[in-house]
Amino acid sequence: MTSMVEVTYHDTIAELTLNRPEAFNAFNLEMVSGIADHLIKLAADESIRGVAITSNGKAFCAGGDLRWAVDYADSPGASFHKLASQFHLAVLEIRRMMKPVAAAVNGIAAGGGFSLALACDFRVMEKSAILKQAYTSAGLCVDGGGTFTLPRMVGVARALEIIAFDEPISSAQALAWGLATRVVADGSVREETLNLLNQLAQGSVHSFGQSKRLLNISYGNSFESQIELERDALSICSDHPDGQEGLKAFAQKRKPKFYAK
């Protein structure tokens, strides 16, 4: 039986692939639970220095499977309550992961697929790819952390515009608005996303992870408490092998070697 979520390894980069192409990678409970389970394992795997979220088929992810929700034994509300619990585990794991996570967006990323892409640290989009929040067009509200990530990327006014009108967002518009990290030629998004992560893997992933953590927790902190956390993290980084190598390389006027194969 074919798995709805597959993981392949490219040296220190893990590729998590959404594999339900016949449904445009829309996730039901089994699929989103698999995404969460794999992300938890990859976050704990010290040999992995980056995670790419890719997809098979013509779409990145069409979001939650609405047909599955409507046909759920209890009610649509019960189905979304259960589905969201697993989806939230997945996006929380991405946000908490102390290593870079990049989405390779082809086709359309809509609904939960939109929120999944926004939860990642980087989004590489094919030229023909489209982002669409989609929730409100189905009479639903944005989920998967989208109401947190979207306004912080584009501002509250533009986030409200995206939510209210639900117009498709082209790759060019996504790049201009800061929703896309890079736009690449059609057919090359998986390769380009792996290249981006391999580039980051040669640097200090520990430094990246600490900086990512500080950025994510900054929204709930005062300035005073945030700079105290920065001081603590700076001390941790300087005592880490990456920090020691970086300081030594600076003193010796050479390029640091944070990771050597």
pLDDT in tens, 240-260: 999 999 999 999 999 999 976
Q: What is the pLDDT of residue 196?
A: 98
- Residue written as token pair 């589905």: 83
Q: What is the pLDDT of residue 69?
A: 74
CA–CA dist 15, 10 (Å, integer) = 7
Is the Cβ–Cβ distance between 13 and 201 less than 8 Å?
yes
Asked, for residue 222, whether it belongs to a domain, the answer is: yes
Residues 11 and 114 in one domain: yes
Mean pLDDT of 78-95: 92
Q: Which DSSP string corresponds to 37-99?
A: HHHHHHHH-TT--EEEEEESSS-SB--B-HHHHHT-SS-HHHHHHHHHHHHHHHHHHHHH-SS
Q: Are 169 and 247 found together in one domain?
A: no
Task: Identify the pLDDT of residue 1.
Answer: 62
pLDDT (tens digit, 9 = 90+) per residue, 46-86? 999 999 999 999 999 999 888 877 776 677 778 888 889 99
pTM of structure: 0.94
Give the chain's domain count: 2
Of residues 55, 166, 41, the one with CA closest to residue 117: 55
Residue-number span of the structural domain to which 229 is assigned: 205-251
Same-domain pairing of 211 and 176? no
- Report pLDDT digits (tens) over 121-147: 999 999 999 999 999 999 999 999 999
